[in-house]
Amino acid sequence: MNYSRTANLVKFILLALCIVAVCAVAVCGVYFGEDKQIKGIFDEGAVTLGLDLAGGSVITYRAKTNDSGDALDVGMNSIVTVMRDRLDNQGLTEALCYRAGDDMVTVEIPDVDDPNEAIQSFMQTAKLTFRDSSGNVILEGKHVINASAGQEQNRTTGEMEYGVSLELNSEGAKLFAEATKTAAQNGTNIGIYIDDNRISNPSVSSEYASTGITGGKAWISGSFKSAVEVERLAGNINAGALRYELERVEQRTVGATLGAKSLSRSLIAGGIGLLLVIIFMCVYYKLSGVMASVALVGYCGLFALALMAFKTNLTLAGIAGVVLSIGMAVDANVVIFERMKEEIDSGKSVKAAIKGGFHRAFWAIFDSNVTTLIACGVLLALGSGTIKGFATTLLIGVVLSLFTALVVTRGLLYLGVGMGLDNPSAYRSLGKNYKASGKFHFIKNRKVTLIILACVLVVGVVSFFVRGTNIDIDFSGGTEIQIDVGTEVNDAVCKRINEIIETEPTLGRSYVSSTSQAASSPTTAIIRTGTAALTTEQQIALEKALLAEYPETDTHNAQITTIQPTIGSALSRKAILAVTIAVVLMLIYIWIRFELNSGLAAICCLIHDLFIMLTIYSLFLIPINSNIIAAFLTILGYSINATIIVFDRIRENRKKLGSEADFADVVNVSIHETLGRSINTTITTLLTIGMIWILGVEAIRNFAFPLIIGIIAGLFSSVFISGMLWYLLNKVFKPKKKAEEKKNAAEGKQDTAKA
């Protein structure tokens, strides 16, 4: 026996050391590159920080063209190539350029001191023109499809010579033919200019005096002595040749210092939240909680390694997903430990209680996490930018939480028993097992719930009509600039800023919507336009005007968002589509796993939770932006988790108590038996997301607060509404008894086989 305990102790120590090693690797971000140096997790090459954390700009342009199909595909690919060359020529080698949809291209410029200046320089660089001898522009960059360096045989000397092959579009071909015909007749040259700098001045052979150079193709040759010279000329032509005129439809800019501040405060909030969860688990669940906390630390280490392994683009919303997943990671442990408490109270040994707890909790854990994965899948499919970052981190968190709970925590518990730590009181959590007798009957007292629901409905409807909603520019379009002006932003300062804007020649009164103080800083002004978005030049002019009035203005760390109304409308449609698809998929899954009535009850609970969140957005006039998609789908997944735990217990008790038992009593008993799990999971999740709300920057606090309300609403709906609605629906639409009994019998056989 002593040998067995010693062996288990050694195994426990080895497993704990493995967890410590994983965390050490994750925290230090240890990996060896070509320089054989140890680097941190947020160093280059490990986890990529999104622009809202690293600082910089992300701009999306739409091509103004009627092309479609293959022609559009070729044209947009050439746009990406040209813009990539422009970025490289500006020294912005870390910038990204990629297509975003059929006719749009996105440019990400990270970690620059003044993103607006970089954008202006980048978009104005290398304006390509072809001019005649009088200086008249005959071709522009939009007429050039491609220029490529190469060699051809000279028709006169027969020798190979360096040159540049030029290809023009149909409009350019006509203009070029006419211009070269005139140049050949007059014996003049056609100059190629980048901005006002002439980079080449080729002549036109007299043989083209009658027709000009037709077909849209030309060969530029002459005194080129090396491949380097022609490659440089071809590169310059391509850098200035944008096939289509581009319209900026979206821009998000964050100063580098502001991004670093967001990162540090979010990490501190996450660390404090993790510590609070560990303390709660250890106090409430005793030795089981200690084991779960060790597994939770390992979970955090694995999470960090997963972020590095998948080269995740970590955004501010992504960090919120990480912190939220920490709170949700203990959900499976809570379900298991509550089951273990029941097993221990029935007189079983600790080892048998562990086995029974994991067995009885498995399907509830599985079903609840599948619904969260459905929400993540919808976000990944329909989301973009920060939303995808949030979905990625939440998805990783769900998968790893299942692994740590079902494998690591189980292993630690069995090793603990093997070491002789088998006192039942050390594994039995605080609190009593809730029973229905003598307590609040959720079904018989459903009038109380209905009165509360009616009050919530009235408050929400009145708020929508009286307060309205604060639709952010993500959906309405326009420009929002958050900038620190170095002085307290009171009513007088807001009035003065509006006066400055009105008198600025490049702006005008029509662009001013409002100026207010940011909640995160008394010296930060929020300037919003109407649906008319400011151009980059207008943004720079506004910053300079503010700097002249307020010398302490921090133009390098301004936060700028610009959305065209068309993009805002598309985001609105996408938000509605995402929520609808998620709800339908969850309904189908619950229908398959339980029955249609339970699925309809769950969907009504979700509608209740979303309505409460919208009411909070209205009451507090929280800006409704693209993050609302992530907030809604997160609450959908979280709330359905709690509901499924209740439904799973109802299904189990229905089989245990038999078909003769009153369904109202079955539901009531099931709610009471799962009440401990519902409350404790809500507490652990609120501990983490609450820290984000308390310590985070304004952007993430506006995201966290509705989540907090949604989590509390989810607790109410799962406890008070879900079972009640299933009971009421069964009274109206009674399920077919034979099919139900057959399903329950099959599930009973499956459970018996597993046991």
Q: For residue range 217-269, list pLDDT tens digits in order.
A: 888 887 777 787 787 777 777 766 666 778 888 877 776 666 667 777 777 88
- The predicted-structure confidence for 583-625, as pLDDT tens digits, reads as follows 788 888 888 887 888 888 888 888 898 899 889 888 888 777 7
**Structure token pair of residue 659:** 């078909």
The per-residue pLDDT for 4 is 67
Q: Which helix (H) or strand (E) holds 198?
A: strand 197-200
Can you point out the beta strands (E) in 258-396?
Answer: 313-314
Phi first, then psi: give them for residue 367, nearest 5 degrees: -60, -45
More confidently predicted of 164 and 504: 164
Q: Would you state the pLDDT for residue 586?
A: 80
pLDDT category of residue 3 using cuts at 50, 70 and 90 = low
Neighbours of 649 (CB within 10 A): 24
Is pLDDT at 437 greater than 50 in this prediction? no
Measured distance CA(21)–CA(611) in Å, rounded = 45
- How far is the C-alpha of 111 from the C-alpha of 256, rounded, in Å? 6
Residue 420, pLDDT > 50, answer yes
Return the higher-pLDDT residue of 486 and 738.
Answer: 486
Give the Cα separation of 428 and 337 in Å (integer): 8
**Mean pLDDT for the stretch of residues 268-279:** 86
Q: Which residue has the higher pLDDT, 637 or 714?
A: 714
Residue 416 reports pLDDT greater than 50: yes
* Region 54-73 average pLDDT: 81
Q: Does residue 342 contact residue 417 with C-beta atoms inside 8 Å? A: no
48-125+247-253: CATH topology is Alpha-Beta Plaits (3.30.70)
Domain 478-563 has CATH 3.30.70: yes
3-state secondary structure of 489: coil
Element (H, E) at 161: strand 160-168
Over 70: is that where the pLDDT of 19 sits? no
**Alpha-carbon separation of residue 139 from 190, 247, 579 (angstroms):** 10, 21, 49
Side chain identity, residue 518 = A
- Looking at residue 594, its pLDDT comes to 78
Q: How confident is the model at residue 28 (pLDDT cuts 50, 70, 90)?
A: low
Q: What is the per-residue pLDDT for 220?
A: 84
Instruction: Please give the pLDDT value at position 379.
Output: 74
In whole angstroms, what is the distance from residue 162 CA to residue 635 CA?
Answer: 64
Q: Which of 18-22, 131-135, 145-149, 325-329 shows the lowest mean pLDDT across its residues? A: 18-22
128-239: CATH topology = Gyrase A; domain 2 (3.30.1360)
Is 663 buried (19+), middle (13-18) or exposed (0-12) by CB count in 10 A?
middle
* Residue pointed to by tokens 């339980």: 594
Q: Is the dihedral of CA 709, 715, 718, 719 positive or negative?
A: negative
CB 519 within 8 A of CB 513: no
Q: How many CB atoms lie within 10 A of CB 31?
A: 16
**What token pair was written down for 346?**
């029935």
Neighbours of 727 (CB within 10 A): 21
Q: What is the mean pLDDT of the chain?
A: 77
Q: What is the mean pLDDT of residues 178-196?
A: 85
For the CA atoms of 709, 713, 715, 719, the dihedral, rounded to the nearest 10 degrees, stands at 170
- The end-to-end CA distance of the chain, in Å, is 27
CA separation for the pair 704, 316 (Å, rounded): 11
Interatomic CA distance for residues 295 and 290, integer angstroms: 9
464: phi then psi, degrees, rounded to nearest 5: -60, -35
In this model, does residue 113 exceed pLDDT 90? no
Q: Would you state the pLDDT for residue 716? A: 92
pLDDT of residue 257: 62
Each domain of the chain, given as residue ranges in start order, spans: 48-125+247-253, 128-239, 255-465+568-754, 478-563
φ and ψ at residue 220, rounded to 5 degrees? -100, 115
* Gap between the Cα atoms of 691 and 272, Å rounded: 7
Q: Looking at the predicted structure, is the pLDDT value of residue 32 above 50?
A: no
- pTM equals 0.69
The Cα 361–Cα 345 span in angstroms is: 16
Mean pLDDT in residue range 702-719: 86
Mean pLDDT of 124-133: 76
pLDDT of residue 409: 86
Give the pLDDT band of residue 124 (cuts 50, 70, 90): low
Q: Is the pLDDT of residue 694 over 80?
A: yes
Residues 6+ apart with CB under 8 A from 30: 24, 38, 39
466-514 confidence digits (pLDDT tens): 888 887 777 777 778 888 888 888 888 888 888 877 777 666 544 555 6
Report d(CA 317, CA 323) in Å as an integer: 10
What band does 66 get if pLDDT is binned at 50, 70 and 90? confident
Contacts of 691 (CB under 8 A, 6+ apart): 269, 270, 272, 273, 276, 323
SS3 content of the chain, % helix, strand, coil (to 5): 65, 15, 25
Of 244-253, 479-488, 556-565, 694-703, which one has max mean pLDDT?
A: 479-488
Whole-angstrom Cα distance, residue 4 to residue 9? 9
Q: 56 has which bridge partners?
A: 110, 254
A 10 A CB-CB count for 324 gives 25
pLDDT top residue among 20 and 264: 264
Give pLDDT, residue 329.
73
Of the listed ranges 410-419, 479-488, 502-511, 703-712, the least confidently predicted one is: 502-511
pLDDT of residue 474: 72
Tell me which residue of 81, 132, 126 sits closest to 233, measured CA to CA: 126
Domains 128-239 and 478-563 share a fold: no
pLDDT reading at 668 higher than 80: yes
CB half-sphere exposure, 402, CA atoms < 13 A: 16
Q: Using the predicted structure, report yes or no on whether residue 12 has a pLDDT greater than 50.
A: yes
Bridge-based pairing of strands 48-49 and 313-314 is parallel
Within 13 A of 487's CA, how many CA atoms are on the CB side? 13
d(CA 102, CA 188): 42
